[in-house]
Structure 1
Amino acid sequence: MVADAHGPLRVFVHGSGRSGTAAWPAQDHAAGVFVAFDKDTPIEERVATLQAEHAGRPVVVFAHSIGAVPVALAAHGGILDIRALVLVEPALYDIARGESAIERHIAIHAEARAQAEQGDLRSFWAIVRPVMFGGPFAEEKWGAEESFAAQWARAELPWGHGIRRDALRGIPTLVVTGEWNEEYETIARRLVEEGAEHRVLSGAGHRAQDLPAFEAIATAFLASVGSGSGPRLVRTRGG
C-alpha cells in the first residue's frame, strides 16, 4: 500500500506494544509516516505530538488499539485534518461505557491497579496476565516477567479520556476487528452506529493488520471513500 504523493499523508499510529514500522510489519515502509511513541508517553502528549507533526496537512490515519485514543481526541478537537480513518481493534472504551463487556474489563483493571498501588505487583500481574496475555501467573516465569508487569502497571489506560460517541462522526472510518474479544466488537458496533464501516478479519487476534487480507480491505475502503456506501459488516477469514 503505497501513499499517493499528491493525496493525504498516511500516518500509522501504534498501540501499546510494538511501535514505528515494527507495529505495521505488513505495510510498505514508504507508505507514510510511522509514529513511534515512548511507552510511557501520556495520551495528552501523544495528541500534542500528532498536532505538532501533522497539523495543517490532510491525513489518512491508521491506528491500532490504544493508538486510536489520541487520534480520536485530535479528530474531535479539530487538531488534525483527517480525511479517513482505518482503526484496528480501537480501544475507544469511553464510547461504550455501560456495556457489560466494557465494564467488566475496566473493573478487572481497577482491581489490579489497586494491588499495584499497594506495592503488590505480583497480585497485579496475577490479575492482568490472564486477561491481557493468556495463561495464569506462573512463579517460575515471574523473574522474566516482573519488569514487563511493572511497565503495564504504570501504562496509561485507554478509558477516562472523555471521548464522546460522536468524536469521529463525519470522518469516513473503517473499523477492523478480529472477532476474538467482545470488548472490541462492542466498540465496533458503537462506531458503526455513528457511521463507520466494519470488517471482521479473523486469524490474528488483536493484530488484524498482520494478515495479508488487511491491505486489500483497507485499500478498497480508501478507494470507496466518498462513494456513498453505507455501513456494513463483511466477514473475511484471514490468513
Structure 2
Amino acid sequence: MVRAHEVERLYIHGGGRRGADAWPHVADPAARFLSFSPDSTIAEQMSGLVEEVGDRRVLMFAHSIGAVPAVLAAHHLDVAGLVLIEPALYDIARGVADVERHIGIVTEARALAASGDLRGFWAVLRPLMFGGPFEMARWDEERPVAERWAVTNLPWGHAVRERMLDDIPTLVVTGGWNGEYEAIARILVARGAQHVVLPGAEHRPQDLPGFSAAVEAFEHSLPR
C-alpha cells in the first residue's frame, strides 16, 4: 500500500489564498505547495504543473478551481492519486440545474464587467459568491475584490472530461453545503471515485479535523 512517505504530496490552491497560505493545517514538512501567478491562464497553470513535477511520483491535492489544471495535467504525470476538495470541474456537470444556474449568473455578471459596469457586475456576482446583497456603503472597500473577480479564470470551458480520471485513484471531499459541488462529486463517484462529505466549513472542508483521517484512509486504499 502507498504511504505518505512513499509519495510526494503536492498541494494546488484554489482561487483565493496561494501557496502554503492556502493549506494552513498541513503538517507534512516535505509537502510542496504550488503558487500560480494571479494572471496565469488555466493552460499555463497546467503546463507549469507538468514542468514543475517532472518525473516525480506525487499524491496531488487540489482545491476548487485548482482541480482544473490538476486534472488536465494528471495524465502527463506519475500520479499515485488525486484528492480533490470541492473541485470546480463544471465542464463535467453541464446540464445539471445548479451548475447551469451558476454559469448563467456569472456569464451575466461578466458581460456587465466587459461593458465597463463593474458595480453592476458586483451587484450580480456578490450574492452568488459571497452571500448577502450589494451595499453601496461598502463599495469602496469591496471594489478591489470586484476588480479581481471580474478577470479571474472561470472553471469551465477547458475540455475537462470525467473519463480523464478513470485510471487515477481519486478521493473527492465536499462540504455538503452546495449543490454544484455535490453534483460534481456524484459524477466522479459514478466513474469510481471515493467521496467523503465533511460539513461545517463550507468551501474549505480541508480545514476540518476529519480531513486528515479521510486522506489517511484513502492513502491506505491505494495500490502500489
**Does TM-score exceed 0.5, indicating one fold?**
yes
- 1:68 alignment partner in structure 2: 67
Q: Which amino acid aligns with 1:110?
A: T
Tell me by how many angstroms 1:3 deviates.
Answer: 4.3
Relative contact order, higher structure (CA 8 A, sep 6+): 2
Change (3 A) 1:204 1:96: same
Tell me by how many angstroms 1:29 deviates.
Answer: 5.0
Q: TM-score, normalised by structure 1?
A: 0.90
- 1:32 alignment partner in structure 2: 31
Provide the rounded CA distance (Å) in 2 between the counterparts of 1:29 and 1:149.
35
How does 1:60-209 map onto structure 2 within 5 Å?
60-75=59-74, 78-209=75-206
Q: Is it true that 1:42 corresponds to 2:41 in the alignment?
A: yes
Count matched residues. Answer: 222
Provide the rounded CA distance (Å) in 2 between the counterparts of 1:206 and 1:116.
25
Tell whether the 8 Å contact from 1:3 to 1:32 is kept in structure 2 after alignment: no
Tell me by how many angstroms 1:138 deviates.
Answer: 0.6
Show structure 1 runs of 4+ deviating over 2 A.
none
- 1:230 alignment partner in structure 2: none
Provide the rounded CA distance (Å) in 2 between the counterparts of 1:219 and 1:101.
31
Q: CA RMSD in A?
A: 1.3
Identity of aligned residues (%): 54
Question: What are the ranges of 5 or more consecutive residues in structure 1 without an aligned counterpart?
Answer: 228-239
- 1:217 alignment partner in structure 2: 214
Which of the pair is proportionally richer in helix?
Answer: 2
Tell whether the 8 Å contact from 1:96 to 1:187 is kept in structure 2 after alignment: yes
Tell whether the 8 Å contact from 1:3 to 1:10 is kept in structure 2 after alignment: yes
More displaced stretch, 160-169 vs 29-38:
29-38
Counterpart secondary structure, 1:37: coil
- 1:237 alignment partner in structure 2: none
Tell me by how many angstroms 1:226 deviates.
Answer: 2.8
Provide the rounded CA distance (Å) in 1 between the counterparts of 2:4 and 2:24.
16
Provide the rounded CA distance (Å) in 2 between the counterparts of 1:187 and 1:30.
31
Q: Which amino acid aligns with 1:225?
A: L
